[in-house]
Amino acid sequence: MSRQSRRPRRPRETERSLLAWLAGRRETAGLLGDDAAILPPRRGHVVTVDCQIAGVHFPHDLDPAVLARRLLAVNLSDLAAMGARPVHAFLALAAPSGFPHRRFFRALLSEAARHRLILAGGDLSAAPAVYASLTLIGERWPRARRWLRRSEARPGDALYLGGSVGESALGLELVRRGARLVAGRVALPAALALPAALEAPARRAVRRHLLPRPQLGLGAWLSRRARGAAIDVSDGVARDLHRVCAESVVGAVLEADRLPRSRGFRALAQRLRLDPMRLQLGGGEDYVLLFTLPASLVPPTELGCHRVGRVEAGRRLLLADSAGRTTPLLDLGWDHLSPGA
């Protein structure tokens, strides 16, 4: 290590700089860059891995049953974004002595069964804090025509969101201020002193943050269409749209007023003194799909999607207000190497 310290200092490493470097190495064989890797032979399977760490992704006192469901949901969302059907799961779980493993596994297995997902292997360790990493293998849905990729947006495509954004970031803020999900019910700390009208939106936000709903059905529908890019919004709409545009080598216009938000969202954000637009663009952990479709295709109403903009030629990403004025859409959102940077 002493040799390292004598080297000139490199600029601070970000997730993007590290991934760009990795993607250029032959040992990654061009497989990085989507929500899951599409594997040879015959590109018949996709594989994704995601982890949840106590004190980083969830509070140390989170009910292990909720943790299990969250871990699974976050990973399933990556398969949804690939248009994949979940098949096999592999778990690495490290937990302190006394951790109620069976409570965790009962929740994991019951949620897995709902998706016909099989827990095929894993690794157990003891550790000072809970760390869980899940690897999922997915295959094609019946009648699927393709995997969804980030690289398939084309100028002229319409840009969609599969649901509301920003609510999860509000929920995270409430959890930071003491909100908890206990025995299926959200408890809000008295110190929040929320007006009665905001309690229901607050409970929804906490639930949305802790128990996201992966959009597997939407992923399946998209996988049966001929074309269009997709990503799951894990690090904020702005950053994830930047990723789609970078992979597709296109630009885009995001219409601020069209960003779907849940009921009570704006009032709750104001009450917590948070900027609603910043929550929506940069909050992250929404786990809805951000996708593009040729203008001739419109998702069926029951999928609950919202058109939020369009794909354009060039490389500019713009945010348009209601009057049509545009400003550059900053690449703000979560960097996994420098949280808060």
Interacting residues with a second copy (CB under 8 A): 1-4, 13, 15, 18-19, 21-22, 25-29, 31-32, 36-37, 39, 47-51, 53, 55-57, 63, 88, 90-92, 94, 97, 100-103, 105, 109-110, 112-113, 117-128, 131, 133, 135, 137, 182-183, 336-339
The answer to whether 101 and 46 have CB atoms below 8 angstroms apart is: no
> Given the complex with a second copy, which of 27 and 257 has the nearer CB atom?
27
Closest CA to 296 of 221, 231, 227: 227
- The distance of closest approach from Cβ of residue 133 to a second copy in the complex, given in angstroms and rounded to an integer, is 4
- The distance of closest approach from Cβ of residue 221 to a second copy in the complex, given in angstroms and rounded to an integer, is 24
Contacts of 244 (CB under 8 A, 6+ apart): 150, 153, 229, 231, 252, 290, 292
What are the structure tokens assigned to 317, written together? 């990403």
- The distance of closest approach from Cβ of residue 107 to a second copy in the complex, given in angstroms and rounded to an integer, is 11
- The distance of closest approach from Cβ of residue 198 to a second copy in the complex, given in angstroms and rounded to an integer, is 27
Question: Phi, psi at residue 259, to the nearest 5°?
Answer: -65, 120
- The distance of closest approach from Cβ of residue 268 to a second copy in the complex, given in angstroms and rounded to an integer, is 27
> Given the complex with a second copy, which of 34 and 255 has the nearer CB atom?
34
CA distance 122 to 101: 13
CA distance 223 to 88: 19
The answer to whether 275 and 141 have CB atoms below 8 angstroms apart is: no
CA distance 111 to 136: 14
> Given the complex with a second copy, which of 242 and 261 has the nearer CB atom?
242
- The distance of closest approach from Cβ of residue 149 to a second copy in the complex, given in angstroms and rounded to an integer, is 14
CA angle 241, 19, 138 (to 5 degrees): 70
DSSP code string of 80-105: HHHTEEEEEEEEEEEE-TT--HHHHH
> Given the complex with a second copy, which of 22 and 226 has the nearer CB atom?
22
- The distance of closest approach from Cβ of residue 129 to a second copy in the complex, given in angstroms and rounded to an integer, is 8
> Given the complex with a second copy, which of 47 and 220 has the nearer CB atom?
47
> Given the complex with a second copy, which of 102 and 145 has the nearer CB atom?
102
> Given the complex with a second copy, which of 134 and 250 has the nearer CB atom?
134
Would you tell me how many other CB atoms lie within 10 Å of the CB of residue 97? 7
- The distance of closest approach from Cβ of residue 144 to a second copy in the complex, given in angstroms and rounded to an integer, is 16
Side-chain half-sphere CA neighbours of 19 within 13 A: 12
> Given the complex with a second copy, which of 36 and 317 has the nearer CB atom?
36
Beta bridge partners of 48: 136
Spell out where 144-202 has E strands. Answer: 158-161, 180-182, 185-187
Would you tell me how many other CB atoms lie within 10 Å of the CB of residue 73? 17
- The distance of closest approach from Cβ of residue 11 to a second copy in the complex, given in angstroms and rounded to an integer, is 12
> Given the complex with a second copy, which of 73 and 119 has the nearer CB atom?
119
